[in-house]
Chain A
Amino acid sequence: MTDSKYFTTTKKGEIFELKAELNSDKKEKKKEAVKKVIASMTVGKDVSALFPDVVNCMQTDNLELKKLVYLYLMNYAKSQPDMAIMAVNTFVKDCEDPNPLIRALAVRTMGCIRVDKITEYLCEPLRKCLKDEDPYVRKTAAVCVAKLHDINAQLVEDQGFLDTLKDLISDSNPMVVANAVAALSEIAESHPSSNLLDLNPQSINKLLTALNECTEWGQIFILDCLANYMPKDDREAQSICERVTPRLSHANSAVVLSAVKVLMKFMEMLSKDLDYYGTLLKKLAPPLVTLLSAEPELQYVALRNINLIVQKRPEILKHEMKVFFVKYNDPIYVKLEKLDIMIRLASQANIAQVLAELKEYATEVDVDFVRKAVRAIGRCAIKVEQSAERCVSTLLDLIQTKVNYVVQEAIVVIKDIFRKYPNKYESVIATLCENLDSLDEPEARAAMIWIVGEYAERIDNADELLESFLEGFHDESTQVQLQLLTAIVKLFLKKPTETQELVQQVLSLATQDSDNPDLRDRGYIYWRLLSTDPVAAKEVVLAEKPLISEETDLIEPTLLDELICYIGTLASVYHKPPSAFVEGGRGVVHKSLPPRTASSESAESPETAPTGAPPGEQPDVIPAQGDLLGDLLNLDLGPPVSGPPLATSSVQMGAVDLLGGGLDSLIGGTNFVAPPTAAVPANLGAPIGSGLSDLFDLTSGVGTLSGSYVAPKAVWLPAMKAKGLEISGTFTRQVGSISMDLQLTNKALQVMTDFAIQFNRNSFGLAPAAPLQVHAPLSPNQTVEISLPLSTVGSVMKMEPLNNLQVAVKNNIDVFYFSTLYPLHILFVEDGKMDRQMFLATWKDIPNENEAQFQIRDCPLNAEAASSKLQSSNIFTVAKRNVEGQDMLYQSLKLTNGIWVLAELRIQPGNPSCTAWPSRHCPSWVLLAVLVGGGLWRGFGGGNFRLPVFGCCMSPSLLVPVVQDLELSLKCRAPEVSQHVYQAYETILKN
């Protein structure tokens, strides 16, 4: 029999011929024709045109032909719902067939036809089949309930199928029980609140009995279901464990893993003093090891799970290190996972073996694997103190190989070893420095720079080394730039005599020529520190670093506990909770381990994930006195002081004697060279600034006429990435409705049709309010503009960054994905004006930690202009004040999800160019206090400095007079939105 010939017919008039053959009288010919149709369907050809002809072949007593027709029906019924009705009669008839195989086939297929009209007819036959005398029909019907539920959940509930399904759990046939369990579990997942499965000791007992009798797959369904049960006490947990342990000897790895899941979960409830607890631990190790002799794909799944188990209960596998040794011909994914587990299991007892292995691996071929092996050696050194010396010498051996990526990886880990064991292994620095030139990866360069900076006093030519890096400063990655900046400042503090030029150079590179805010801010902070208080600078920059912990790569405990509940499933393979990769509400029920009951240990409280931002609350106390606003202002404001004459001093650049009286003489901002922006002659800035502001005033007047500010369209999806479809767009808000203005351009050679759009879940629940309507097909080189109305009632998931929106656009060619950032001001609602009293109370009510301060630079607007501009974008001015020549605007806005943001905007009217923030307003100690408060001491000296959001308040204006800056303070109960609100402010005010 050679069915392969069906795959090869590619004649033009094929469909027509097939039609004729399907209607042939000869049975054989008919069958042949249906086979050809199925073959075409498989390779993706559209044979839906043959629908009526194929359905005509359904009435047959040939089971093979019947199955083929059913297969066709399942594929195309949805596209031809009216025609599909033609098939109903046959189904209903088949459900009455004396042959149980045919009855089951009919009910099975019928459930796969997702046409509403058909499902109505399905109910009666299904009801009968659920009570069929033959177990084969019942087990098929059980799954069919799940199918029906997927199509029409309401119908299933109305028809009472759920109760019938529950009854099947007590069926005499184990396979029926297993399928009923599977169906119920799936249905229950989409109704997290309902107690569908209703697990109680009696039903658990039934399941455990069926467990011994059903097929391997059935055992998996039952075990997975058992894992969701919460035993009422440790006794019950133990008795279930006892009955589940025999499954650990099953040949099917999935049965074993599901059993492990149940045991790991229920073990939580057992007291550690119990003998049984120890026995259970011992019983778990061998089956886990056996999983490693399965096929490689299963090994991979097993290893990902073992990785979790080892983190949760290291004692289980602590003696089994050897089985995780990598075999030469393991697939790479198995090798990498084994390596990970080896490190987790490394201890003083086995470290010698582990190191010998790792050294062996570092000579292998696969680059990723070698890198990971080298990194592993470093991790061993950090984890097992006794081995550190051997690890270092092993790493040095590896550096001698001169294999580029090995050397780089080794340097990265040696940096960590230095941090863990300071003043111990610095003798190797010389060897490291030899390899300086071969480093081309940012991480390795950064590590090396850190080492040079940290040990600058021991490296004679540290300044030369760092200087050589400085040449290509702008081509380096941020990581290297930041590290270089810190290292040179360290060097300067250690050897001030020779390096002042170098430090000048790096500070100016970082602050002036870089557009990276992190780098700029860090540059300014150092500059400021050095200029005000070098002693403090020394304390900050050369502070003792906290020791790094040994297990930085551990999975966070709450996530780990959740993942333990998902052993064996995809979540455990990805090491992510299901919500991270499953769409919709399914499977996102948060699972947690049961708390310990009988033991004295503190119960682990079940964690509940915070969802989205907390809703904005209304303050419940309204203050009696109305003058509080004034108090507030006085509290917040220092008197304005005009800037010191910075401009003149800056000319002396190189001439300043930094070393006159040692470091101490550096104190005082005036003496130290200020950042060159300050050198802009003050009198020049004024006319330009005011001229500009006039200009802006004009435009802003125009701008206020239309709704909120609309950014020009930006290309979101370039044609190259989307098979010729180019999408550009922007977001608008007009009279309360948000819309997404899209411009679709067809740059391909074929016509595009069938457009559709979908959004991923996002922080504010943005979703299309109407389908994407492109009326005519988009022909090549044609452009169409569409405005897509949006609603904010979609499902919410916090995104990073907050205003990230992931969009999928479909057309007849493919589905394309892109993501874009939407400006937050489209979410500002029209009723965002807060009552004055309310504003005051709320402002007081929100803790000061939630206050974020920002600087809007170069914005020559006066209070009125700013206020009206902002108002058009639904930022409302609640109150206005003038305090000692400064205009203060108090503003409120509300987001679509009900979060209020309160703002205080400070504007200095008139002669804007020469107001600068004097150092007195923000003395260095404030800065330091902020840093300490933020727990950042360590960050400065160490390698991983991240500037938090409030870093922006320490921006250049602390030092530099600028044209005109607006000071913005934001308070909100959900502080994470502040940054975005600030950006919205900036956009609105500057356009």
Chain B
Amino acid sequence: MIGGLFIYNHKGEVLISRVYRDDIGRNAVDAFRVNVIHARQQVRSPVTNIARTSFFHVKRSNIWLAAVTKQNVNAAMVFEFLYKMCDVMAAYFGKISEENIKNNFVLIYELLDEILDFGYPQNSETGALKTFITQQGIKSQTKEEQSQITSQVTGQIGWRREGIKYRRNELFLDVLESVNLLMSPQGQVLSAHVSGRVVMKSYLSGMPECKFGMNDKIVIEKQGKGTADETSKRCLRQESCGKQSIAIDDCTFHQCVRLSKFDSERSISFIPPDGEFELMRYRTTKDIILPFRVIPLVREVGRTKLEVKVVIKSNFKPSLLAQKIEVRIPTPLNTSGVQVICMKGKAKYKASENAIVWKIKRMAGMKESQISAEIELLPTNDKKKWARPPISMNFEVPFAPSGLKVRYLKVFEPKLNYSDHDVIKWVRYIGRSGIYETRC
């Protein structure tokens, strides 16, 4: 298991050092600094083995988090834990920076004592941790409160405490998708996928039992195949949304979702944590709506000049508006000057980033726009060809490129007297560009 955990600043100074196992000595702290943080070359692997000691590290801005072990630990678990550690710290004191870590070092030690015991990760849900690691010292808790804390921390529903009350029961669902594309210069889709997340903010009283439904192809087909005594009503409903069902390649759920139920019935049921959490992640690769198409044209005119023309086409309903559009056209390292003409938005050559950045605030569906640029190059004797990095794009659209639709989210709370109809529900779809690249 994890033998020790160290946090360093960018200079390699130790900010936090917590050793869990006897086989990890103080020299491990230095070994990591010398061999990884101060290494001359770029880090070639997130796992480093130095003298039979393995170091796992992640970096958050300037801060290095390193877990150390001498055993054959579960590597995936160590990384998951390090990310979780970052989440927990962020939930307690915001951004992970040297300043914040130094300011909260006592708290961090306290957290490390709680969420890692002898190197074994323990309950690390912020909701639960915040009930008893408060930095306020121990308040005279009643015995009931104490046992409530412990039963929550160890319990089956470790993510939610009992006795939550809201005057207004409300929930928000955000379907956040990032659409990824790699396209050849000829317009052939090399790879495209959507990775989506359903984020829920719940302000619900008691211990509500929720059921979430979406236009998952498997569920809808299953219902279609239902027995004869299924009502025709269901068939009607299926017709109304039948074609729009989507094939989900894979999905993963927050730990509150009952996985065995999903596996057997493909229904998503859970008792949500209070506040914001990520209900599920999913991935689709079929029938993706690509919101934009980029058509590049790069021509080399002699050895000192490049002509670039890029056309973008929006490919969605004309009534919808895409926002925050940004096209990034890479330029060679030996660029000396750039002239840009664009029909819409603003374009600028940014020498420090070796790219022309073209920004458009808004663009409706089924439109197209174009930019052309002349790039002057300094003559070089560098034999190496310019690698021509792909043209990348950023945008935000108000629909889900995967085609996912939320069909329902039902809430039942048997003990309290509010019903599904009393809950105010909000659904929002946002599609963003992930890595959206076209080679040129």
Binding site for B on A (CB under 8 A): 1-4, 6-7, 35, 38-39, 42-44, 61-65, 67-68, 70-71, 75, 98-101, 104-105, 108, 111-112, 114, 134-137, 139-140, 143-144, 146-147, 150, 173-176, 179, 182, 186, 212-217, 220-221, 224, 243, 245-247, 249-254, 256-258, 286-287, 289-290, 293, 295-298, 300-302, 322-323, 325, 327-329, 332-333, 353, 356-357, 360, 363-365, 401-403, 566, 568-574, 578, 581-583, 586-587, 808, 814-815, 817
Contact = CB atoms under 8 A, between A and B. Distances in A.
Interface stretch (B215-223, B256-264, B311-319, B336-344): B256-264
Interface in B53-99: 54, 56-58, 69-77, 79-83, 99
B106 interface: yes
A61 B138 contact: yes
A182 B47 CA distance: 23
A403 B384 CA distance: 6
Residue among A3, A43, A174 with max Cβ neighbours from chain B (10 Å) = A3
A298 to B, nearest CB: 5
A360 B259 CA distance: 41
Contacts of B70: 582-583
Contacts of B437: 327-328
A182 B388 CA distance: 51
Interface string B164-186: 00000000000000000010100
A212 B27 contact: no
B29 to A, nearest CB: 7
A566 B76 CA distance: 12
Nearest to A252: B80
B45 A253 contact: no
Contact of B191 (A134, A182, A300, A322): A322
Given A2-B103, A42-B17, A63-B137, A251 B254 contact: yes
A150 B255 CA distance: 32
A4 B110 contact: no
B172 to A, nearest CB: 20
A212 B109 contact: no
Interface string B184-198: 100000110101000
B174 to A, nearest CB: 17
B259 A252 contact: no
Instruction: Please name the 9 residue pairs, one residue from A and one from B, whose CB atoms are nearest each other, closest first.
Output: A286-B250, A4-B102, A136-B150, A246-B263, A254-B76, A254-B77, A246-B259, A578-B72, A63-B138
A640 to B, nearest CB: 55
B117 interface: yes
A224 B1 CA distance: 12
Interface in B141-183: 141, 143, 146-147, 149-151, 153-156, 158, 182
A68 B138 contact: no
A61 B113 CA distance: 18
A254 B19 CA distance: 23
B439 to A, nearest CB: 7
A212 B256 CA distance: 10
Given A42-B17, A246-B260, A290-B283, A251 B278 contact: yes
B370 interface: no
Given A44-B14, A246-B263, A249-B263, A333 B45 contact: yes
B77 A250 contact: no
B106 A363 contact: no
A757 to B, nearest CB: 15
Contacts of A356: 184
Given A43-B13, A327-B435, A568-B74, A3 B104 contact: yes
B106 A146 contact: no
A581 B49 contact: yes
Contacts of A817: 51
B403 interface: no
17 contacts: A3-B102, A38-B109, A101-B146, A137-B150, A182-B1, A243-B260, A247-B259, A249-B263, A250-B253, A252-B80, A258-B74, A297-B82, A298-B83, A328-B435, A332-B44, A363-B387, A583-B70
B124 interface: yes
Contact of A111 (B118, B158, B385): B118
A532 B141 CA distance: 98
Contacts of B242: none
B281 interface: yes
A42 B105 contact: yes
A253 B75 CA distance: 10
Interface of B: 1, 13-17, 19-23, 26-27, 29-30, 42-47, 49, 51-52, 54, 56-58, 69-77, 79-83, 99, 102-106, 109-110, 113, 117-118, 120-125, 132, 135, 137-138, 141, 143, 146-147, 149-151, 153-156, 158, 182, 184, 190-191, 193, 195, 249-255, 258-260, 262-263, 278, 280-281, 283, 383-385, 387-390, 392, 435, 437, 439
Contact of B27 (A105, A216, A293, A815): A815
B281 A251 contact: yes
B252 A290 contact: yes
Given A254-B77, A290-B252, A570-B54, A67 B72 contact: no
Contact of A4 (B13, B99, B123): B99
Nearest to B145: A99
A199 to B, nearest CB: 19
A360 B150 CA distance: 56
Contact of B149 (A101, A258, A298): A101
Contact of B109 (A67, A108, A301, A581): A67
Given A3-B106, A212-B258, A300-B47, A573 B75 contact: yes
Given A2-B103, A249-B263, A290-B249, 15 more contacts: A4-B103, A64-B106, A64-B135, A101-B150, A139-B122, A212-B260, A215-B122, A249-B250, A301-B76, A322-B191, A570-B47, A573-B47, A581-B54, A583-B52, A814-B27
Given A99-B141, A135-B151, A360 B439 contact: yes
Chain B contact residues: helix, strand, loop or mixed? mixed
Contacts of B190: 322, 325, 353, 357
Given A99-B141, A403-B384, A253 B46 contact: no
B349 to A, nearest CB: 20
A300 B27 CA distance: 27
Contacts of A295: 58, 79, 83
Contact of B154 (A135, A143, A147, A363): A135
A572 B75 CA distance: 9
Contacts of B260: 212, 243, 246
A309 to B, nearest CB: 14
A173 B147 CA distance: 14
Residue among B80, B135, B254 with max Cβ neighbours from chain A (10 Å) = B80
A134 B143 CA distance: 12
B46 A297 contact: yes
B77 A568 contact: yes
Contacts of B45: 300, 333
A964 B29 CA distance: 58
A251 B253 contact: yes
B110 A253 contact: no
A100 B138 CA distance: 13
Nearest to B31: A815
Contact of B263 (A176, A245, A569): A245
Given A322-B191, A327-B182, A568-B75, A67 B29 contact: no
A269 to B, nearest CB: 21
Contact of A582 (B52, B75, B389): B52
B219 to A, nearest CB: 14
B106 A35 contact: yes
Residue among A35, A101, A150 with max Cβ neighbours from chain B (10 Å) = A101
A286 B218 CA distance: 15
Contact of B150 (A135, A186, A243): A135
A103 B410 CA distance: 41
B52 A581 contact: yes
Contact of B22 (A70, A98, A114, A302): A114
A139 B147 CA distance: 14
A111 B118 CA distance: 9
